[in-house]
Amino acid sequence: MRKPAIAATAITAVSAMLLSACGGSPAEPDAEKSSGSKGADDKAVVLLTHDSFTLPKEVLAEFTEKTGYTAEIRHAGDGGELTTKVAMDTGNPDGDAVFGVDNTFASRAIDQGALEAYTPKTVPAGVDEFNLPGDEKHFLTPVDNGSVCVNIDTEWFAAKKLTPPESLDDLAEPAYKDLFVTPGAATSTPGMAFLLATVAEYGEDGWADYWGKLMDNGTKVVDGWDQAYYSDFTQGGGKGTRPIVLSYDSSPAFTVKDGASTTKALLDTCFRQVEYAGVLEGADHPEGAQALIDFLLSDSVQKALPESMYVFPVSSGVELPADWAKFAQQPTEPLSVEPDEIDENREAWLATWSDTIAQ
C-alpha cells in the first residue's frame, strides 16, 4: 500500500516554521516534465504542487493534445509549505496555477490575495459538493477528496475475540489500552486532520480533555503516517503490535486478501480533506492556467486519481477501480471544521495539543 497524496505530507507546528519553509530556494521543476523556466515558453504552463503530485504521462500528453499547452510540474514541498509559498509570493508567483491547497490551509491563500477568481467552463456532476465554504468568487476549484479515518485490523480483533472499536469515544476505553497509534498533529497532515476531527467532535472545551484520555489509555504518537502504518500497525507488513491506526478511508482497498479486506475504516471517526486548484494572481500565462484547471476536472484526470494519487475524484460520473468501489467506503457525514476557524486557531490548537501529549 502506498499512502494517498493528500496524506503523504508533513506540516509545521507554528507560523514561523511555515514562513521559513518559503524563505529558501524556489520550487524545483520536475526534470521529466519541465521544458524550461517560467516564462520561457508561451505554451508552457507552470503548475506549482506538493511533492506527492503525479499523473500518468499519457494523461499529461492528452492535456497538450487538447489544449496546445504543455504542463511544467514544479514541486514545492508539502501541502502547508506549498500554500504558504503561494501566499508569500502573491503577485509574483513561481508558477501559473497551483494544485494541492487543501481545506485546512485554503483560507491562507485566499485571504492573502494570491489567487485569481476562475470558474471552470465545465463542472462535472458532484463537484459542487466539495466547493470551499465561503468561496463564492471561486478562487479555488475542488479536484479530489479523501478522509482521514481511524482504521482497524479486522483479522487481529477476530483472532483475539475482542469487539473492535467503532467511535472516537471507544479509543479511550480500557479495552483498547495500548492498541492505537497515530501520527502527530505537529508533524503530519493526517495527524493534523485527526486533531481537527477531535475539535469537531468534542468542541473547543472538550477536545484537549479527550486527548488526555487517549494518552492515559496508551495511545502512541509518532512523527509520520509511514511509521504509524508500516512500523506499528499490525497490518502494515512489518512486525507492528498495534491493531488500531490513523489512516484513510481508501486504505482498506489496499489490504485485500482472498477477495476480502483485512482492515476497516471507522467511518464515524473521519475528517474529510479536499484538494483544490487555482489560478495564481500575477501568472504569466493565466489562460493556460485556466485550461489546466479545466483539464483537472476532465474524465481522464478524475479516473486516474485513485491509482495515481490514492484519492477519490470529485466527479461523481467516473467509475472507481473495482477494489475501491468494493472496499474504500467513504463517510456520509464526515467531521469538519470551517477553514476560517482552522486558520484562526491552528497554532493555538497545536500548542495545546503538544502540551497535552507531553504530560
Are 145 and 274 in contact by the 8 Å Cβ rule? The answer is yes
Q: What is the pLDDT of residue 187?
A: 84
Could you tell me which residue, 31 or 76, shows the higher pLDDT? 76
Continuous segment of H or E residues that includes residue 347: helix 339-358
The C-alpha torsion from 340 through 345 and 346 to 352, rounded to 10°, is: -160
What letter does residue 27 receive in the DSSP assignment? P
Name the CATH architecture for the domain at 147-271+332-358. 3-Layer(aba) Sandwich (3.40)
In angstroms, the CA 211 to CA 268 distance is: 17
- Averaged over 144-168, what is the pLDDT? 97
Could you tell me which residue, 6 or 114, shows the higher pLDDT? 114
Name the CATH architecture for the domain at 5-145+273-327. 3-Layer(aba) Sandwich (3.40)
Report percent pLDDT > 90 for the chain: 77
The CA-based angle 350-352-354, given to 5 degrees, is 65
92-148 per-position pLDDT tens digit: 999 999 999 989 888 889 999 999 999 999 999 999 999 999 899 999 999 999 999
Residues sharing a CB contact under 8 Å with residue 47, sequence separation 6 or more, in sequence order: 53, 71, 72, 73, 74, 95, 96, 97, 98, 99, 292
In angstroms, the CA 69 to CA 196 distance is: 39
177-200 per-position pLDDT tens digit: 999 999 999 888 889 999 999 999
- Residue spans of the domains in the chain: they are 5-145+273-327, 147-271+332-358
- Confidence grade of residue 298 (pLDDT, cut at 50, 70, 90): very high
Sign of the Cα torsion 172, 173, 174, 179 reads negative
**Mean pLDDT across the chain:** 88
Residue pointed to by grid coordinates 485490523: 153
Are 221 and 357 in contact by the 8 Å Cβ rule? The answer is yes
Q: What is the pLDDT of residue 45?
A: 96
Are 248 and 7 in contact by the 8 Å Cβ rule? The answer is yes
pTM recorded for the entire structure: 0.81
What letter does residue 162 receive in the DSSP assignment? -
- Do domains 5-145+273-327 and 147-271+332-358 share one topology? The answer is yes
Continuous segment of H or E residues that includes residue 63: helix 57-67
